[in-house]
Every structure is written in C-alpha cells, then in structure tokens.
Structure 1
Amino acid sequence: MNKRIMGNTKKSVTEIGLGTWQLGTRWGDEFNPVEAQKILEAAEENGINMIDTADIYNDGNSEKAIGKFIKGKEDKFYIVTKCGRALNPHTDEMYTPEAMEKFVDGSIKRMGVEKLDMILLHCPPTSVYRKDEIFTAMDKMKKSGKITSYGVSIEKVEEGLAAMEYGISGIEVIYNMFRLKPEEELFKSAKKNDIGIICRVPLASGLLTGKYNINTVFGKDDHRSYNRNGEAFDKGETFSGVNYEKGLKAVEELKKLFGTDDIAPYALRWILMNDAVTTVIPGASRSSQLVENIRAAQMNPLTDEQMKGVRDIYDRYIREDVHKLW
C-alpha cells in the first residue's frame, strides 16, 4: 500500500489506516477480543501500519488489544493514541500537566510499550488549544522519552490553527465528502508547517457507504440513534453533523455520480486525492470491512468531473448546514 509522511516526524504511514473506536465490536455492543485480534491480523496482512486509538475506546480494551498484537514487532506499526476525554467534568480546568502525564503513563502501560509514537489531545474544550502549560508538558514528555511526538484531535478548524502555534506533529480532523471546510485554511497551514493530517469519520458514520435508507434502524446504544442533535457529545461526530434525511438525498446523488450504490471506496479515494492528507482511518467492526476499505488505495484517481460533482452536491445539500459550524 502507498505510504505518506507524517509531517515533521518523517515517519512513513499507510494512506489507509485503521480507526479503532469500534475495534472488535459494533456500536453499543460489548468488546470482543477475538474479533479485535482478527481485525488487527487483517490489517497487518494487508500492509496497514497506521493504527489510531484512544485511552477511552472500549474502556481501554482497544489499547490493550493493540499492545498485545504489536508486542515484539512494534517497529512495524505506527500507533496514534489520544487522551483527555476521560476527564470528568470535561472542562478546561481539568486539563493540567499532571493529568496529561498520568494519561500518557496509562497508555504506555496498557499497550506495554516503552514510549508512544504519537499522542493527541482528544477534542478538548476550545480554550485548551491555547493553553501553554499543556503543550509545555507535552514537550517535556517528548524530551524525557515518554512520547515521540504529539498533536491534537479537533472538532473545529480554528482549534487546529491555534495548536499550530506549538510543537505539534499531527492534526486529526473530520474530513469527508460532507465536511469540506478543512481543505481551505487548515490544510494549507498544515502543509506550510509540515504537520501531518489524519482524517477521521471518513464515511460520515456509515452514511457515505450508501448502505442506509430512511427505514434503517440503529440500536438504542448506537450514537446514530441518540446523538443526531448532539445530545451526548458534539453532533459533528454523528453523520458529520449532517441531517440524516438530507444526507440520504445527497448520497443518492453521489450514487448517480459514480454509477454505483457502493460509494464507500469512492468516498475514501476522494479524501486521498488531497495531498495535504497523510492518512485516513476508517473503522472496522469485522475484518471483512477492513479489506473493503483497502480497495480505495488501489483505485485510479477520481476524474476532474467526479471531483467537481462531489463539490456541487456538497454545495446543494450540505454546505448550508455544516460549513459554518466546524
């Protein structure tokens, strides 16, 4: 698989990675370590070396499963983890140097590694991206050898721009056919400052697979049921903040544009068309999903007509609702 450079770390990572929010489980179900192992094995067999996780994913079980899997072959993989969301309350005041070091130590212990490849602040309150002492703490842990590099996971473009004032190496951001704003100022600044871009929620919570319709039922413990309007956390995390019914109409237009109902590989390939992007991290609840995602890296580039068509559909159906929010 093709690889790209993770900004100023100079590390090569696969352009299709593995997101592990739902590793070894479906939304709302219990963690399945056997299925998690199968997914990680499939990732390795298909040449993926980029894995994204977080301390809170499956109550730490994602980190533990990854650590167990990479033991003895750590150099083959590039692991990005995240911290901060476990703070309760999740407020600016809770983000302290002491808390950050505790999070780093916890991730190191769960994964059984000597140091972390990269750790990101996990979508903290906006004010934290300008909090000098937090980034100073990250610099100190980098110098002490606990982490190799650090960065931020963001909800809003302005947060990523603020964090660029510090020594970050990566920014994780929602970027997909229904979320175009990052490619404006954020991506240009990232390229200028040699900062890697990790694209999350690439399929808009499955909306961009083309598999859902107005009658699709999601489980009661699935965020696609209970967070459509941001009831539990930022609504941009669910369907990228797009109104579900309006999103379905846009998806039908995308199916016509690409001449297929299976638009997931096109959605992923579209992201990779932007050279500011380092890697895209679709999730997989089973190994077969991962194999499907990899198809995008093997596809021909999209045509100018297709690229223009995506933007036109965004402008007609999506822009008004989401562009100004994130």
Structure 2
Amino acid sequence: MEYRQLGKTGFKISEVSLGTWQLGSKWGDPFDENDAQNTLAAAYDAGVNFFDTADIYQDGLSERALATFIKDKRDKVFVSTKVGRKLDPHVASGYTPANITKFVEESLRNLDVDALDNVLLHCPPTAVYYTPEVFFTLDQLKKAGKIKNYGVSVERVEEAMKALDYDISAVEIIYNMFRLRPADRFFKMAQEQNVGIIARVPLASGLLSGKYTLDTAFGKADHRNFNRHGEAFDQGETFSGVDYATGVRAANELKERLRAGDHLAQMALRYILMADAVSTVIPGASKPEQISRNVAAADVPAFTPEQMAIVRDVYDKYIKDPVQYRW
C-alpha cells in the first residue's frame, strides 16, 4: 500500500481506502456487526488507514461500528464522516448553525471521539455553497476543537470549485472512467490550494466491474433498481448518471480493449490513482473477502499513454454526452 497526503490535514492516507456505505450489509440487506468488524479488520490489515462514513449510513450503525474498531487505533487511522442528509426535506434552508452543530455532536457521540478528524457536508443543495454562514459555522466548530478539518462531498464540479472559496481541507467527488470531467480543471485548482481529493463511486455502482449484463437484476431495495433516473436522489449517483445499457456496452469495450479479463475493477481503481491530485479512492466492501480485491488495485501497473487514450476514447464514444454537461 502506498500513502498520499490528504490536502492540508497533514495526514498521509492509504491511496486505496474504504467507503462504508455498504459496511456490514449489501445494498438493502440488514446490518451485520460481525461482518462489519471483520471487514474493517481486513482493510486495516491490508494497510488501509482511511475510512469514509456518514451519519446516515445504516442509521448511524456505520459510525458506531467504526467507533468500536478504532478504539485502540485512534492515532493510527483517519476517519472522515459526512453530515447533512438527515434533513427531511433535504433543503438548503436546513443547513443552519444549530442543525450543523447538532449533527457534528451526534457524530462525535457515534464515533466516541473528542474531535472529528474530518467532516464533509453531505452533497448539500447548490445554494449552500453560496451561504457563507454554513462554512463559518464549521470554522467555529473547528476553533472549538470539535472538528479538526472540514470539506464537502459534491454532486457537481461547479460545487467543488465554489467550495474552494472556503477553508476546506478536502473534497469528495465522483471520479471514475465514466466521470472524467473533474480532472479537466478542478484537480489543478484543488492542488493549488492544497485541498485533498477523495474519489467516490469509483466503479460507477459496479458497472466498471465488468460483470454486469443487460439481464442483470438488482434487489428491490437496491438503489441500482429504484434510482436509475433520479427517483430517490441525484441521478448522477447511480451508475454515475450513465444509462445502464450504455454503461454495460462501454464497460465491455473497456474490458476488451484494455485486455482486462476479470480485473476491470482493479484497473478502474488504478486509473483513478493515475491522477496525482487524488488523495485516495474509496471503494466499498460488505465482506472481508472484498477487501483484497480492492487493495489489489494498488499493485496494478501504471497505465500506459495508449491505455489512457483508450479510456478517453470510450468515454467520448459512449459517456460524454450527456454526463460531461450535467455533472
């Protein structure tokens, strides 16, 4: 495992880390504490020292599972949590100083720490980025010692750019073979301000595993079944906003032209790490055995210029219109 600086936090984090949306469960399945602890242990043993979570993941169970796991490792790991999606409705006016403070204090209790390593606003509405009081509240919480760093998880590149107006330490953004736009301008801007980049949805909800077909069926509670067109939350989250059938065709072409065989997922993760601006990529895992497949990406050879060109060509052919112009 290699380690990269997470912006101005001063912390070096594993370049392949762990996103805990699925921790201890598959999409839609009940939470299993033993699976969660075993998965966290497998990640840590593989060199992972960065864990991404959120207060709404498994209704707080993800944060609490992490609390149990990091109890004797707090000086060895870095935990980033997200807040804001508890709001119902999830609207900009809900991002008040009182609500933000409440969410931070709840995460402090869930994670059983005195100060949160990093807090990200959880894909807030665009208007929040134009509400300085929200970020000034985070500044005050930092001064009070309740958080050490803060940033944003975003849906759109423009939101990430606007967030750079504030004293953020990190931006979590969708970046993968099907979502190339962040690298066009934003990555350079973030580097210039020493802001770390956490690459989320790295496999486009599994499309970039290369294992799905047009006949693949997803469970009733799986967002890949009910949110393909943004029925429940932003359409850009599920399959990175790519039409499913188009994504299957694009993934098959990538697998063939890159000669990926059964390793397209690892190659997709390695592609993300080709960007120096990226601090870490956060694939998820619901079982310990999935960890080894994820971290194997760190050992995949660097892409050649020819391979990089193949990714761009497939993107331009299948994905660019309309994804490039929406997110």
Identity %: 54
**Which residue matches 1:271?**
272
Residue of structure 1 equivalent to 2:240: 240
Aligned pairs for 1:129-278 (under 5 A) are 129-259=129-259, 260-278=261-279
State the shift of 1:9 in Å.
Answer: 1.1
Q: Which residue of 2 aligns with 1:127?
A: 127
Counterpart in the other structure of 1:323? 324
C-alpha deviation, 1:188, in angstroms: 1.1
Structure 2 residue 302 is matched with structure 1 residue 301:
yes
What secondary structure, in the 3-state scheme, does the structure 2 residue paired with 1:172 have?
strand
Q: Deviations for 1:148-174, whole angstroms, at most 9, x for unmatched residues?
A: 000000000010111110100000000
TM-aligned CA deviation for residue 114 of structure 1: 0.9
TM-score (norm 1): 0.99
Aligned-partner SS, 1:90? coil
In structure 1, distance between residues paired with 2:200 and 2:293: 17
What is the CA-CA distance between 1:72 and the residue it aligns to?
A: 2.0
Residue type of the partner of 2:298? A
- Separation in 2 of the partners of 1:232 and 1:307? 34
Give the conservation status (yes or no) of the 8 Å contact 2:258–2:310.
no
CA distance in 2, matches of 1:188, 1:232: 33
**1:264, distance to aligned residue in structure 2 (A):** 0.3
Give the AA of the match of 1:290: I
Q: CA deviation at 1:262?
A: 2.6
* Equivalent-residue separation in structure 1 for 2:219 and 2:252 (angstroms): 24
Aligned-CA RMSD value: 0.7
The alpha carbon displacement at 1:261 in A equals 3.6
Q: Determine helix, strand or coil for the equivalent of 1:140.
A: helix
CA deviation after TM superposition for structure 1 residue 191, in Å? 0.6
> What TM-score do the two structures reach when normalised by structure 2?
0.99
Conserved 8 A contact 1:211-1:262:
no
Figure out how many residues of one structure are paired with residues of the other and give that number.
Answer: 326
CA deviation after TM superposition for structure 1 residue 122, in Å = 0.2
Deviations 1:283-304 (A, max 9, x none): 0011111110101101211111
Amino acid at match of 1:31: F
> 2:81 aligns to what SS in structure 1?
strand
Q: Following superposition of structure 1 onto structure 2, how do residues 98-137 of structure 1 map, counting pairs within 5 Å?
A: 98-137=98-137
Is 1:43–2:46 an aligned residue pair? no
Q: What residue is the counterpart of 1:88 in the other structure?
A: 88
Distance 2:87 2:252 in 1: 40
Counterparts of 1:280 and 1:130 in 2: how far apart (Å)? 28
Deviation at 1:258, TM superposition (A): 2.0
1:29 is the counterpart of 2:26: no
In terms of mean alpha carbon deviation, does 69-78 or 267-276 score higher?
Answer: 69-78
Q: Secondary structure at 1:76's aligned position in 2? A: coil
Contact 2:108 2:116 in 1 (8 A): yes
Distance in structure 2 (CA, Å) of the matches to 1:278 and 1:148: 18
Shift of 1:271: 0.1
Matched residue of 1:26: which SS? coil
Which ranges of 4 or more aligned residues in structure 1 deviate by more than 6 Å? none
**Is the 1:123–1:154 contact (alpha carbons within 8 Å) kept by the matching residues of 2?**
yes
The Cα of 1:27 is off from its aligned counterpart by 0.5
Which sections of structure 2, spanning at least 5 residues, go unmatched?
A: none
Letter in 2 for 1:269: R
For 2:220 and 2:276, locate their aligned partners in 1 and report how far apart those are by CA, in whole Å: 39
In structure 2, distance between residues paired with 1:255 and 1:261: 8
Residues of 1 paired with 2:14 and 2:130: CA distance?
31
For 2:192 and 2:263, locate their aligned partners in 1 and report how far apart those are by CA, in whole Å.
35
Counterparts of 2:262 and 2:191 in 1: how far apart (Å)? 34
SS where residue 74 of structure 1 aligns? coil
Corresponding residue SS for 1:319: helix
Deviation at 1:2, TM superposition (A): 0.5
Counterparts of 2:185 and 2:302, CA distance in 1 = 24
